[in-house]
Structure 1
Amino acid sequence: MWWVRLNKLIKRKKYTIDEVCILAGQIMLESGAETYRVEDTMSRIAKSYGVECVESYVTPTAIVFTVDDDLITNTKMKRINKRGTDLNKIAVVNHLSREISEGKWSLQEAYKKLIEVHRSTFVYSVWLQILAAAIVSGCFVIMFQGKWFDFLPTVVTGGFAYFCFLIIDRIVQVRFFSEFITAAIIGLISHLLVYYGFGMEIDKIIIGSVMPLVPGLLITNAIRDLISGHLVSGLAKGAEALLTAMAIGSGIAIIIGLI
C-alpha cells in the first residue's frame, strides 16, 4: 500500500521546515484558497517550529518562501501548474496548522499528514457532482423568475453539460477550452428543447444551465486579495475569472448566432 511506503520514506528522510510550509501552501493554493490565507498559514507553521524570520510571496502560479535564521538563509520556489476548488482540503490544512501551533505534531508527522491530504481525491464522486450541478441549474431557473415548465429541461441540460465539462476538462488540457465547448453544448441543447416543445424560455434555460460553470470562487478570491493588498494575485485571478466568463459567453453566442 502507498501509505506503508510513505511511512518508510518519511522515516528515512528528514524534512525541513520550509518543505512543510511550501507543501501546505501548495495544497491550499491548488484547492482555491486566497493568497493572504496561504501566506498566513505558511508563516504560522514556520513560527510554530521556532522560526520567527520568514518571508513568503504567493501568486496564483508560484510560491516563494524564505526561511532566515541565525545560521543560514534559505529560499525555495514552488511552481503551481493546476488550480481547482476543494474547500475540504483548505479546511483540513487550516485545522492542521492550528494543531501544529498547539504543538500537537512534530515536523515529520506534519509532513506525513500533509502528504496524505495532498494525495487524497475529491471528497464527492463524479455522479454526485453531476447530480448537484443538475439540481442547481434547475433551481437557478426558478430564482431568475423562470417557469416551472422549464425546471426539468434545465436540470437535464445542466447535468448533461456538466458531465461533458468533466470529460473535456480531463481530456483536453487547455485553459478555458472546456468552458467554451460546454457553453456551446448548453446553447445547442437549450435550443433543441425549446424548438421541440420541451421548454418555453430559452434564455432562462441557458442562464440556469451555465451557472455551475460560473467562476464565482475566483471572483470572490480576486476581490478579497485586492482588498488585502495582494494586487498581483487579485488582478491575475480577476483576469482568469474574466477569461472564463468570456469563454462561456462566446460559446453561447456562437451557437445563438448560427441558429
Structure 2
Amino acid sequence: MEKNRQNFIDVSEICLLAGEIMLASGAETYRVEDTMVRIAHAYGVENAESYVTPTAIIFAVNGELYPAGTKMKRIERRTTDLNKIATVNSLSREISEGKWTMESAYERLKQIKKENISFSVPIQLLAAGIASGCFVIMFLGKWIDVLPGIVAGSIGYFCFLTIHQIVKVRFFSEFVSSLIIGFTANIFVYTGIGDQADKIIIGSVMPLVPGLLITNAIRDLMVGHLISGLAKGAEALLTAFAIGAGIAVAYAIF
C-alpha cells in the first residue's frame, strides 16, 4: 500500500506539472485535461479526473489501489509558447507508449518548464515586422506603406515585450504598445514616408491581436467548456479593447 501511495503522489505531480506547462503556454482547456488523464492512464491510474480553468488545475484520482486525493495548481501567468505545448504533447505520447519511467518523465517536465525554448527577441521583432508589412498589403494598403508598417510593427512589439516584463498589470502593455504604433504611423504619414495611416496601423497592431486566445475560446465553447471559453473570450475582448483604446488616444492627441 505504501508503494501504491508513492505511485499516486508521483503520477499526480507528473500530471499537474504537464498541465501547468501546457496551460501556461496557451493550450486549450480540453487538450490539457486530455493530456493529464492520458498520462495517468499510462502509469496505471484508471480513475483519474481533471478539471481545468484558465487560472487553476484540479486533479483527482480514486480507486481500489490508490487512496482518494485531490490536488490543485494555480496558474498566475499565461503566455503563448507553442513550442512547449508541442514538446509536452510529444512527451505524453511517448509516455503512453511506455518509453518513460515516472522519475525520468518528471525530471524531463521540470527541464521543459525551466527551458526558454521560445525564439530570441530579435527574431520575434523581425517576424512581427514582416507580418505587419504583409498585413498592410493584405488590408489593401499601398506599397509605400509597407516599410512604415514593418517599422511600426517592430517598434510596437518591442514595447509590448519590454513593458510586459516591467509592469505586471494586464492589458497595460497592449494599450501602450498600440498608442506608440498610432503615434509612429501618424508621424510616418506626416513626414511623407507613408500615405495611409489607417492601413499602417491596422497592419502593425496585428501581432498584438489575441488570435490564439480567440481560437481557444471558440474551441473550448464548442467542446462544452463553457467557463473556460467565456473567460478566455472575455480576456480576448479586453485585450482588443486595450488595443483600440491606445489607437483612439493616439489619434485624439495627434
Structure 1 SS opposite 2:51? strand
What percent identity do the matched residue pairs reach? 64
Q: Displacement of 1:123 after TM fit?
A: 2.7
Q: Secondary structure at the match of 1:103?
A: coil
* CA positional deviation for 1:258: 2.2
Match of 1:168 in 2: 163
1:16 Cα offset (Å): 1.1
Name the SS for the 2:249 alignment partner: helix
Deviations 1:83-103 (A, max 9, x none): 011111111111111111111
Query: What is the aligned length?
Result: 247
Q: CA deviation at 1:161?
A: 1.1
Q: Distance in 2 between matches of 1:98 and 1:163?
A: 36
In the alignment, structure 1 segments of 5+ residues that lack a partner are 1-12
Show CA shifts across 1:53-92 (max 9, x none): 0111000000000011214101000000010111111111
Report whether the alignment pairs 1:64 with 2:64. Answer: no
Q: What is the DSSP-based 3-state SS (H/G/I as helix, E as strand, rest coil) of the residue aligned with 1:57?
A: strand
TM-score (norm 1): 0.93
Aligned pairs (5 A) from 1:121-140: 121-140=116-135
State the one-letter code of the partner of 2:201.
Answer: I
Instruction: Quote the offset at 1:122 in angstroms.
Output: 3.4
The aligned residue for residue 30 of structure 1 is: 24
Which runs of structure 2 are paired with 1:90-169 in the superposition (5 Å)?
90-169=85-164
- SS of 1:188's equivalent in the other structure is helix
> TM-score by structure 2 length?
0.95
Task: Output one character per residue of 1:152-176: Cα deviation in whole Å (capped at 9) or x when no partner.
Answer: 0111111111111111110101100
> Which residue in 1 is equivalent to 2:223?
228
Q: Give per-residue Cα distances to partners, 1:92-137, cap 9 Å, x unaligned.
A: 1111111111111110011011011111103310010001000100
Matched AA of 2:51 = Y
Q: How far apart are the structure 2 equivalents of 1:34 and 1:72?
A: 29
Counterparts of 1:67-78 in structure 2, within 5 Å, are 67-70=61-64, 71-78=66-73
Which portions of structure 1, spanning 4 or more consecutive aligned residues, are displaced by more than 6 angstroms? none
One-letter code aligned to 2:52: V
Query: Which position in structure 2 is the counterpart of 1:44?
Result: 38
Q: 1:206 aligns with which of 201, 214, 226?
A: 201
1:172-198 CA distance string (max 9 Å, x none): 011000000001001111111101111
